[in-house]
Structure 1
Amino acid sequence: MNSLTGKTIILGVTGGIAAYKAAALTSKLTQKGAEVHVIMTASAKQFITELTFQSLSKQRVYSDTFQERDPASISHIDLAGSADLVLIAPATANIIAKMAHGLADDMLSTTLLATTAPVMVAPAMNVHMYQHPAVVSNMNTLASRGVQFIEPGEGLLACGYVGKGRLEEPESIVRVVEQYFNIQADRAKGPLSGKKVMVTAGGTVERIDPVRYISNDSSGKMGFAIARAARAMGAEVTLIAARTDEAPPQDPEITLVRVESAQSMLDEVVSRWNSCDILIKAAAVADYRPKHSADAKIKKSGDTMTLELVKTTDILESLGKVKDNQFLIGFAAETGNAEYYAKDKLVRKNLDLIVANDVSREGAGFGTDTNIVSIYDADGLVLDLPISSKDEVARRLLTLAAERISGVTR
């Protein structure tokens, strides 16, 4: 069966000359079995008529928030709730700005605020508009919220300029939409489908004063790779990230929670613990924090400064003592004797698996795209991985976890 069969797609058409391509897009999506509901902005209707889309989609076309034809329902709420995907094509700089700032002054922007469905945006505008700092900032804001972008093509634009900004061809947009639903279908059949996975990433920050802090070199890359792999295997993923060196996964179906300190990470993890199936603690959590954090910047005085530190709560150890059916995985980043320390940590903290890595080895540890790890359980070494990408390490680790929680051990 076609991946679009039975899918409800809201197609937002905004006011650019590329609106004519949206007619072909509507036709192709409909031919693939999708139910397409078109919402047009007032500007879009200057370029193409509602009747065109109605004829191609065999559905009512919407453009006026207040034109309610069924007293039993509110159109933009019903549309927002029924959507499997919201696709904006073409997307002008104006609608991108509205989305970024949460404006809702017409049918399309109001529906966008009301939907919880994934959103794809296919920009189309003049090359200089596309490169304008305000537009770039707005697109980055939307990307950070999980909005997916279909990059415009390069070539001769309607305005006469040559460059990037031309709406991607309808055939290519359809392929992107199909790929999205194919991935969703694969996830539904994945080994972690139906499981709730919580991942921590990055290095916690312990404040000395408003401008100084204690932290570590954790980049967040390993935790991010684990979150991506867990989602690819069908899990419902919550990513709790402290300070990181790169952007987190741009997947709208990964719930991102930002924290700063060890205490704030503990609070967020504990609040989700009872509903969690697997917890993977890839974050580097500070062992100590300043006993007192100053409210104002501490001024320099004297040749020395004494900073009193107190222990933070050990998140893994605390949860290991109270775990019920949860599967608990920890990391041991060491600079020598990694096997000894990892095995000790596994027992002390009542973990199911522990991932040991010597961060002093080239190609392993913080800030790199690769890692060298050994995975242990209570019986000893389970898996020894040579230098591998962190995405591959994450995949192998989660495959082990999936086998263990399903009752299969290797």
Structure 2
Amino acid sequence: MNIVLGVSGGIAAYKACELLRRFSESGHDVRVVPTASALHFVGAATWSALSGQPVSTEVWESVHEVPHVRIGQQADLLVVAPATADLLARAAHGLADDLLTNTLLTARCPVVFAPAMHTEMWEHPATRENVAVLRRRGAIVIEPAVGRLTGADTGKGRFPDPEAVFELCARVLARGADRVGADLAGRHVLVSAGGTREPLDPVRFLGNLSTGRQGYALASVAAARGARVTLVAAHTELPDPAGVDLVRVGTAAEMRAAVLAAAPDADAVVMAAAVADFRPADYVPVKIKKVDRADPEPVALVRNPDILAEVSRDRAAPGQVVVGFAAETDDVLANGRKKIARKGCDLLVVNQVGGGLAFGSPDNQAVVLADDGAETEVPYGPKAALADLLWDLVAERLARSRPLTGDGRSEQR
């Protein structure tokens, strides 16, 4: 594949070297197109040596090859990393005052922007509107990470982990130019992931075996398809996926609060988390001691709130699509059909767990039940493949229930 790596003038430009290495080692041909400002951070010689391609910032070099048109026309993917506030503004307004912005106008392939800037710049209304414009046009603008910025500042605006950006771009390439950004661009999706933990005392908890892999795959695939993603994550040891707003929680009560806070603005809510059904009735503030030759006191349990049923019942907006997950050990489909009727969701992903199935595995197998009785089998394979199929089903429903208006926003019916 031919990849164009645009680099704008931010301190995170050095991290693009790692992204370039990953693209090259994966067998892609990479052409680096920096801005003049970017060369203050990483020189042209470095980009040329790492890519094996000539590097230029101007349209006036090698004019006989018409690079300002040819580079974009031949690209299978255009990635701008880092994308500064200035670059996002120029791209949103269609300016073409250097080789990179000309390439952005001529490219007909998927375009990914990986922003990096100070928090104040990212949150400025002008930047937010420029990002919205680019997303409405089908570009994928991934959410920056939260962390240490230039100097002593900390906040949202940090360049995401290069490996996470690479994985997102790999999903974009695998999906194909004709399918990227067509169905989830302009959409806000809410995904829950991981297993909640209900504390018994300061060192013990009631939990489950969920690793969060399926929920993280759903979030990553949605971001690669152009959606704005809010990921509410309980316990997991997975690295933060690029391009999502991450909200960390611990207990079922915390997950409920985070989901209900984000749901009103979401086109779709996908509850992939393994939420504990019960929690200890009483929390002991000190470690419970083992008494010699004495049996432990029974642990009384109380029910946790049913978040999926609550979100399904109290739809935040007309046409919102709600998806649940059901992990079953026996009578999988029979239990799943009862559960979708009881929960009131639109789609329910039913899979068998136990014996090494689903939990902790990179692969999954499931059946997606619909509220109209339809059933879609998902053959055994990577969890990202299940995510792609599920988003296909969600996108079809959103196209009917919440079509996008001319400005790229959801029309509520």
How far does residue 145 in structure 1 lie from its aligned partner after superposition?
Answer: 7.0
1:348 to 331, 342, 347: 342
Q: Distance in 1 between matches of 2:12 and 2:205?
A: 48
Contact 2:84–2:117 at 8 Å: present in 1 too?
yes
Q: Say yes or no: does 1:394 pair with 2:393.
A: no
What corresponds to 1:76 in structure 2? none
Identity in percent: 31
Q: How does 1:286-365 map to 2 (within 5 A)?
A: 286-301=276-291, 302-323=294-315, 324-360=318-354, 364-365=357-358
Report the 3-state secondary structure (helix = DSSP H, G, I; strand = E; otherwise coil) of the residue aligned with 1:305: coil
How far does residue 319 in structure 1 lie from its aligned partner after superposition?
Answer: 1.1
Contact 1:199–1:226 at 8 Å: present in 2 too?
yes
Q: Give the alignment's Cα RMSD to 1 decimal.
A: 4.2
- Structure with max Cα Rg: 1
Contact 2:12–2:159 at 8 Å: present in 1 too?
no
Please, what TM-score do these two structures have when normalized by structure 2?
A: 0.60
What corresponds to 1:49 in structure 2? none
Q: Say yes or no: does 1:407 pair with 2:397.
A: no
Q: How does 1:117-136 map to 2 (within 5 A)?
A: none
What corresponds to 2:85 in structure 1? 81
Contact 2:209–2:359 at 8 Å: present in 1 too?
yes
Q: Distance in 2 between matches of 1:243 and 1:288?
A: 16
Report the 3-state secondary structure (helix = DSSP H, G, I; strand = E; otherwise coil) of the residue aligned with 1:380: coil
What corresponds to 2:219 in structure 1? 227
How far does residue 179 in structure 1 lie from its aligned partner after superposition?
Answer: 8.6
Report the 3-state secondary structure (helix = DSSP H, G, I; strand = E; otherwise coil) of the residue aligned with 1:190: coil
Contact 2:171–2:221 at 8 Å: present in 1 too?
no
Go from structure 1 to structure 2 and tell me whether the alpha carbon gap of 1:308 and 1:392 turns closer, same or farther (over 3 Å shift): same
Q: Distance in 2 between matches of 1:402 and 1:111?
A: 32
Query: Aligned AA for 2:381?
Result: S
Q: How does 1:234-313 map to 2 (within 5 A)?
A: 234-249=226-241, 251=242, 253-301=243-291, 302-313=294-305
Contact 1:290–1:308 at 8 Å: present in 2 too?
yes
How far does residue 378 in structure 1 lie from its aligned partner after superposition?
Answer: 2.2
Q: Distance in 2 between matches of 1:331 and 1:181?
A: 25
What corresponds to 2:37 in structure 1? 37
Detail structure 1 runs of 4+ shifted over 6 Å in the superposition. 2-5, 117-120, 178-188
What corresponds to 2:370 in structure 1? 377
How far does residue 295 in structure 1 lie from its aligned partner after superposition?
Answer: 1.8
Q: Say yes or no: does 1:148 pair with 2:162.
A: yes
Query: Aligned AA for 2:262?
Result: R
Contact 2:183–2:225 at 8 Å: present in 1 too?
yes
Report the 3-state secondary structure (helix = DSSP H, G, I; strand = E; otherwise coil) of the residue aligned with 2:350: strand
Go from structure 1 to structure 2 and tell me whether the alpha carbon gap of 1:216 and 1:204 turns closer, same or farther (over 3 Å shift): same
Q: Distance in 1 between matches of 2:193 and 2:226?
A: 20
Query: Aligned AA for 2:161?
Result: V
Query: Aligned AA for 1:258?
Result: R
Contact 2:7–2:38 at 8 Å: present in 1 too?
no
Q: Distance in 1 between matches of 2:383 and 2:170?
A: 24
The total of aligned residue pairs comes to 291
Please, what TM-score do these two structures have when normalized by structure 1?
A: 0.60
Query: Aligned AA for 1:350?
Result: G
Q: Distance in 1 between matches of 2:230 and 2:307?
A: 16
Query: Aligned AA for 1:281?
Result: M
Report the 3-state secondary structure (helix = DSSP H, G, I; strand = E; otherwise coil) of the residue aligned with 1:407: helix
| Contiguous gaps of at least 5 residues in structure 2 | 18-30, 44-55, 59-82, 90-115, 123-140, 145-155, 402-413
How far does residue 272 in structure 1 lie from its aligned partner after superposition?
Answer: 0.8
What corresponds to 1:24 in structure 2? none
| Contiguous gaps of at least 5 residues in structure 1 | 19-27, 45-55, 59-78, 86-109, 121-141, 152-174
How far does residue 307 in structure 1 lie from its aligned partner after superposition?
Answer: 1.2
